[in-house]
A and B are shown apart, each in its own frame.
Chain A
Amino acid sequence: MLRIKGLAKRYPTGDVALKGVDLDVPGAEVMALIGPSGAGKSTLIRCINRLVEPTAGSVTLNGTEITALGRRDLRRARRRMGMIFQEYALVERLTVMENVLSGRLGYVGFWQSFARRFPQADVDEAFRLLARVGLDHMADKRADELSGGQRQRVGICRALIQNPDLLLVDEPTASLDPKTSRQIMRLIKELCEERKLTAIINIHDVMLAQIFAERIVGLRFGEVVYDGPPADLTAEVLTKIYGEEDWSATIRKVGEAAEETAEPPANVVALESRKPHRDRMAGLS
């Protein structure tokens, strides 16, 4: 499905962020990308939808070589790649609804979007998605009135309304508290399962990666140094990715993490039947 070959990026400043990354993501799976700051995680994700232009190598999504596309075709290809950002990156002065509908910009003409006259099907889908994340009553609120967790859920809706094949997720929990972080990660994982989506998630928090990802790729100095299941993330592997450190506290949690995924997540229920739990969702901010 997604194939990355020899991807390299050298910034004009001379910094080499990626040195020949090869990665194959065959089908729907949630893949976590971990590694120290400056390892090139953010660059790798942005090279996939070419928000950052790679210097060398190729990215192929469902048979389309993204790295070979012209501007027009690139825009077309970006529609199928939803992106969720660190610090949410919502347009602060637009309403929640406008932010969600902005995910449809690649599908509608300029004047239509300028007049905010989106096709009814898009509006229906937007309300459906907002209801799914428990925010449909917030549609006309301005994005800057929302709390962090709420904003990130709007960000998720904006990515999903694109009807993507691939979700690129850049540090989704970086500015959220531990509880909200887990809820957001769980929501992303559930939505990926519902829609048979592939997600590549950049994440600093190794434990969250272990809990919610099916596959973990470790990046160091722009190279893949680990690629495997979360269970194999041993102290030696973490040392290889991050460098020497006492990893016992992180490792010990692996077993507990497995339990956590096994237990029926209360929030799935909360998210499914939205009305009675709306206050709870609002309170989760």
Chain B
Amino acid sequence: MTVAAPTSRHWSKPPLIRRAWLRWALGLGAVVYLALALGTTEINWTRVWEGVPRGARFFAAFFPPNFTSRAGDIADGILESLWMTVVATAIGIAISIPVGIGAAKNIAPGAVYYFCRGILAVSRSFQEIILAIFFVKLFGFGPFAGVVTLSFATIGFYGKLLAEDIEDMDPSQAEAVRATGAGWLQWINYGVQPQVMPRVIGLGLYRFDINFRESAVVGIVGAGGIGATLDTAFNRYEFDSAAAILLVIIAIVMLVEYSSGYIRRWVR
């Protein structure tokens, strides 16, 4: 039996941008800009070259790390940082949960939605360092300013991601709970909360991790914690103590990382 020769039709994947001129203009524009940007970046290779041995000396000064001579200061700093982290994470999450619920478009009425989104936008628009400088000016040096900084930063992070998780939930489960005649709080507790719980816990642990690392940074601008100790060590040129502090920070971050991974698997 003869098979009719199939007429072959050309096919290729449709382009992301349909209009050819726009596609080419965007591509060329990006290439030209990048070339110009690279061309105008001044790299002084002699200074880079001089910097290498200085960096090596600097690193050499870290070794061996000295845990003992400033042990008391390091312990105090770490404990203060941990305290700041725990308190700030707890306060931040406690505020983020209602804000996050209010910022979920699928469950919050218009006015509440925009108000809560506004809070999140303000919180997210400032980096921790800027917030810390501001709060140190406001409340004076010390860990209190650090706690306020980290709590405030937590709201933007946690609230936004929580709101997004709520917006991604399965509406039919929530609808089924609503159909039973449940009240609003009951509806949140039975229809919404179980769906976002793994995220609530996972994000909480992740934010704890971030807050600990940030607590080391905000200390440098005077907001207490291990960062203040680290800053002091650098200012006194005690690089071996500074190295010890850095190692302790790395160890704690790794510990938190490992345990949070474990807990997240467990709550799935």
B residues within 8 A CB of A110?
Answer: 183, 185-186, 189
In Å, the complex CA distance between A77 and B181 comes to 7
Within 8 A of B (CB), among A73-123: 75-79, 81, 83, 85-87, 89-94, 98, 102-107, 110, 113-114
A89 touches B172 (CB 8 A): yes
B173 touches A90 (CB 8 A): yes
In Å, the complex CA distance between A103 and B186 comes to 11
B residues within 8 A CB of A77?
Answer: 181
A102 touches B179 (CB 8 A): no
B190 touches A76 (CB 8 A): no
Q: A162 and B189 in contact (CB under 8 A), knowing A51-B175, A92-B195?
A: no
In Å, the complex CA distance between A103 and B178 comes to 10
Q: A113 and B178 in contact (CB under 8 A), knowing A85-B172, A94-B194?
A: no
In Å, the complex CA distance between A90 and B177 comes to 9
Residue A186 at the B interface, CB < 8 A? Answer: no
A162 touches B186 (CB 8 A): no
A residues within 8 A CB of B190?
Answer: 91, 94, 98, 102, 105, 113
B195 touches A75 (CB 8 A): no
- Closest residue of A by beta carbon distance from B185: A110
B residues within 8 A CB of A105?
Answer: 177, 180-183, 186-187, 190
Residue A220 at the B interface, CB < 8 A? Answer: no
Residue from the list A49, A75, A93, A162 in contact with B194, Cβ < 8 A: A93
Within 8 A of B (CB), among A158-179: 158, 162, 168
In Å, the complex CA distance between A58 and B198 comes to 42
In Å, the complex CA distance between A78 and B186 comes to 14
B177 touches A91 (CB 8 A): yes
Number of interface residues of A (CB under 8 A): 32
Q: A83 and B176 in contact (CB under 8 A), knowing A93-B197, A105-B182?
A: yes
In Å, the complex CA distance between A75 and B177 comes to 11
Per-residue B-contact encoding for A42-58, CB less than 8 Å = 1, 0 else: 00000001010000000
A79 touches B173 (CB 8 A): no
A residues within 8 A CB of B175?
Answer: 51, 85, 89
A75 touches B181 (CB 8 A): yes
B183 touches A75 (CB 8 A): yes
B189 touches A158 (CB 8 A): no
In Å, the complex CA distance between A76 and B185 comes to 15
Residue B222 at the A interface, CB < 8 A? Answer: no
In Å, the complex CA distance between A94 and B175 comes to 15
Residue B191 at the A interface, CB < 8 A? Answer: yes
Tell me the smallest distance from the CB of B172 to a CB of chain A, in Å: 4
A residues within 8 A CB of B183?
Answer: 75, 105-106, 110
Q: A106 and B176 in contact (CB under 8 A), knowing A91-B195, A94-B194, A114-B189?
A: no
Tell me the B residues contacting A by CB distance below 8 Å.
Answer: 170, 172-173, 175-183, 185-187, 189-191, 194-195, 197-198
Sample of 11 A–B contacts (CB below 8 Å): A91-B194, A93-B197, A93-B198, A102-B180, A102-B190, A105-B182, A106-B183, A107-B181, A110-B189, A114-B185, A162-B181
Q: A78-B178, A83-B176, A92-B170 are in contact. List 9 more A-B contacts (CB 8 A).
A: A75-B182, A75-B183, A76-B181, A81-B179, A93-B195, A93-B197, A94-B190, A104-B180, A106-B180
